[in-house]
Structure formats: structure tokens, C-alpha cells
Amino acid sequence: MFYSFFDPTYFLVIIGLLISMAASGYVNRTFRHFDNYRSQSNYSGSDAARFILAQSGINNVGVQKISGDLTDNYNGQTKVLSLSEATANSTSVAAIGVAAHECGHAVQDHVNYWPMRLRSAIVPVANFGSTLSLPIIIVGVLLSYNQTIIHIGIFLFSLALLFQLVTLPVEFNASRRALQILSDGQVLTRDEVPMVRKVLVAAALTYVAAALSTFLQLLRLILLFGGNRDDN
């Protein structure tokens, strides 16, 4: 009975949690560090976002300030680029890098970047899978470890991992576009661009960590319930 609640595979969850915490801590430390470096152009995050959008020929995307810290995002449905207070008002190279990354998503939307379209299409399916997977697995366990039901639950959970994997190229591409935009010297100097690169690399690691964490959770479910169970 004790084993069933504290099985060794739980260490996979702990490892995933530690990876996510380490990545989150790293991106926060990196952002705080480069947030102390003021850009020579004196552009704020909001100024940089509007400039980049204009330079990219995008005139149908609004820029707004939202509450929170590092809650920046781009909504392709409403065509609104939202910058957190720490990004919108700051003239640091870190803030400009974050704003440029979100502009990278706006550019992806503008050019109809297909991995971004794929990710958007997967969102409802991934949400459905992550919500119902564990209840379905539990039902399968209660029904004398019905493998068909359990495998359906595991498959649904795997959709969350699929979403995480599709997210990776979307985020990496947005950062690459941001660096290309900022490398022209109009917003940041040549010496400031490498600082932004470090911020964006740190941010990208959070998505890698999320994918690894989800994979480890899926592996745990497979190890626990994926095979034929023999309780004799």
C-alpha cells in the first residue's frame, strides 16, 4: 500500500520540477542582471515594440501595458501585443529584448508562419487531453486496470507533450527574428545585442524545461500504467 502512493517513479516528477525551477530561476536572474543596463537609444520596451512593428510593415497590431512581471505575450486573435510593466516602461536592453521577442511572434503571424498556426490549432486539443487524461487513467485503474481506457488516458496526456514540442521551434524562431531586427543598429548598439541574446537564450530554456518536465511525467504514467499489470 505504501509503495502505491510513494513509488520510485515519483522521482521523475521531482526531477522535472527541479528542472523547471532551475530554468525559471535562471531566466529571472539573467533578466534582472541585464535589466540594469540602459540602452543607449533610450527606447523603452513599448517604444521598441512600436518601432519594430512599423519597420516590419505591421500596422494592425496594438501595443498595450498589462500588470505583472514577465507576463508579456502576443495574442494573434486580437492582434494585441501585451507588455508587462517591467518591460513596457523600462529602457533596459533586457526589456527591449523581451519586447522584440513578442514582436517576433507578431511577425510570425504576419507572414503566416506555419509552426505558429500548427501550435494554435493544437491548443484546444492539448487542453482537452491534459484535462481529461488523468481522470480517464483513474477510471481505467478502478475498472480492474482496463488497459484500453488507461492507454487512451496516456495518449491524451501525450498531446500536452506534443504541444510543448511544437512550441519550441515557434519560440526559437521568434527569438531569432528578434535578434535579426535588433542587429540593424537602430534600436540597440552592436555591443548591446549579445546581452539581448543571453536574455532570449535564458527565456528559451524555460520552454525546453517545460517540454522535459512534461516528457518525464508522461514517462512516469507509461511506467506505472502502460503495461499489463499483474498484481498476483
Give pLDDT, residue 15: 94
In a domain? residue 50: no
In a domain? residue 79: no
Query: How many domains, in total, are found in the chain?
Result: 1
In a domain? residue 62: no
Give pLDDT, residue 114: 95
3, 158, 205 from 119: Cα distances, Å: 38, 15, 18
Range of the domain at 174: 2-37+93-102+111-225
What is the strand order of the sheet 62-66 is part of?
62-66, 80-84, 73-75
Query: Which helix (H) or strand (E) element contains residue 149?
Result: helix 147-182
In a domain? residue 215: yes
In a domain? residue 43: no
Give pLDDT, residue 228: 59
The ranges of the chain with pLDDT < 70 are 1-6, 227-232
For the range 146-150, what are the long-range contacts, defined as Cβ-Cβ under 8 Å and sequence gap of 24 or more?
Answer: 147/228, 150/225, 150/226
**Which residues touch 126 (CB under 8 Å, ≥6 apart)?**
159, 160, 162, 163
In a domain? residue 45: no
Give pLDDT, residue 229: 56
In a domain? residue 138: yes
Give pLDDT, residue 69: 80
Prediction pTM value: 0.87
User: Residue 56: CA atoms inside 13 Å, Cβ hemisphere, count?
Assistant: 25
Active-site residue identified among 85, 102, 171, 192: 102
Residues 49-94: tens digit of each pLDDT? 999 999 899 999 999 999 988 889 999 999 999 999 889 999 999 9
In a domain? residue 77: no
User: Active-site residue 102, yes or no?
Assistant: yes
Give pLDDT, residue 227: 66
Quick one: cell of 225? 500504467
